Amino acid sequence: MNYWPLLGIAVVVIGFVLRFNAVLVVICAAIVTGLCAWMPPLQLLSALGESFLKTRTLPVILLLPLAIIGLLERHGLKQQAQRFIAGVKGATVGRLLSIYLLARESSAALGLTSLGGHPQMVRPLVAPMAEALAERQHPGLSQAVRDKVKAMAAATDNIGLFFGEDVFVAFGAIVLMHTFLRESGIETNPMHIALWGIPTAIAAFLIHAVRLRRLDHFLQAEQARLTKSPQHNAEPPTC
C-alpha cells in the first residue's frame, strides 16, 4: 500500500497552522496527493478542473444568505425582533427557547435542516429576542448572564437539529448505520432505524425543556441577588 498520498493531510495541517490562504492550501494539498499517487499531470489538472466545476456554485449558495441576513441586520432586524417579543405577555426566555426547540426539532425531523441555524436564526432573531426578554423581566443583568442566555439560545438550536435529524429516514447517519449493519450481516430497515430515533428526540426535548425552565429560575435568582446587593439599594448622594 502506498502511504505517500497521505502527505496531502500534512500539507493541509501545516498550511492552516501557518495561516496561509485556505484555497491555496487545499490546491497544494491536492497537487501533492496526486503527485504522490503517481497521477499524470494532465489527469491531475483534469481532476482539479472537474472538482472546481462541480462546486463553483457552492460559495454563492453559502454566502448569499449571509449577505441578505447582514443587510437585514443593518436595517434593524434585531431591534424589530426585540420590540415584537417585548409586547408578548407572559413570554419568558425559557418559554421562547422551548418553542424554538420544538420548531427546530420538528422541522429537522422532516428533513428541513436549513430552516434554522446559528447565522440564519440564532444570531439575528432568537438570541436578541431571548436577551430582550431577560432584560425586560430582570433589568440590570451582568454581561456574563447575557452571554449565558445567548449561549443557551445557540445550544437550543444545536440540540434541536442534532436529535431531530436522526428521525429523518434519508439522513446520512441513518444511511451509514444501515450500510454498516448490512455489511456486518445484519439486515435492517432504514425506516425502522429512524423510528427508534423518535424516543431519543422526545427525551432530548424534555430534558432540554427542563434546563430552559431552570434558566428562568436562574434569572429570577440573579435578579433577586442584584436587588438585595448593597450597591443596588444604596441611596443616591445628596448635594
pLDDT category at 229 given cuts 50, 70, 90 is: low
Q: Would the pTM of this model clear 0.85, i.e. be above it?
A: no
Q: Considering the chain, what is the average pLDDT of its residues?
A: 83
Residue 70 has pLDDT above 80, yes or no: no
Q: How many structural domains is the chain composed of?
A: 2
Q: What is the distance between the alpha carbons of residues 127 and 147, in angstroms, rounded to a whole number?
A: 10
Question: Are both 135 and 213 inside the same structural domain?
Answer: yes
pLDDT digits (tens, 9 = 90+) for 166-206: 888 777 778 888 888 888 888 888 888 888 889 999 999 99
Question: Are both 173 and 80 inside the same structural domain?
Answer: yes
Q: What is the distance between the alpha carbons of residues 198 and 137, in angstroms, rounded to a whole number?
A: 35
Question: Are both 183 and 108 inside the same structural domain?
Answer: yes
Question: Are both 31 and 65 inside the same structural domain?
Answer: no
Cell 441577588, located at residue: 225
Residue 236: inside a domain, yes or no? no
Question: Are both 37 and 72 inside the same structural domain?
Answer: no
Question: Are both 204 and 122 inside the same structural domain?
Answer: yes
**Average pLDDT for residues 10-32, to the nearest whole number?**
87
Question: Are both 177 and 131 inside the same structural domain?
Answer: yes
Q: For position 231, what pLDDT does the model report?
A: 55
Question: Are both 14 and 70 inside the same structural domain?
Answer: no
Question: Are both 39 and 99 inside the same structural domain?
Answer: no
Indicate the length of the chain as a whole number: 239
Question: Are both 104 and 128 inside the same structural domain?
Answer: yes
Give the count of beta carbons closer than 10 Å to the beta carbon of residue 30: 17
**Which domain does 121 fall in, by range?**
61-226
pLDDT digits (tens, 9 = 90+) for 92-130: 999 999 999 999 999 999 888 888 888 888 988 899 999
Contact 215, 94 (CB under 8 A): yes
Question: Are both 44 and 81 inside the same structural domain?
Answer: no
Q: For position 163, what pLDDT does the model report?
A: 92
Question: Are both 135 and 210 inside the same structural domain?
Answer: yes
Cell 497521505, located at residue: 6
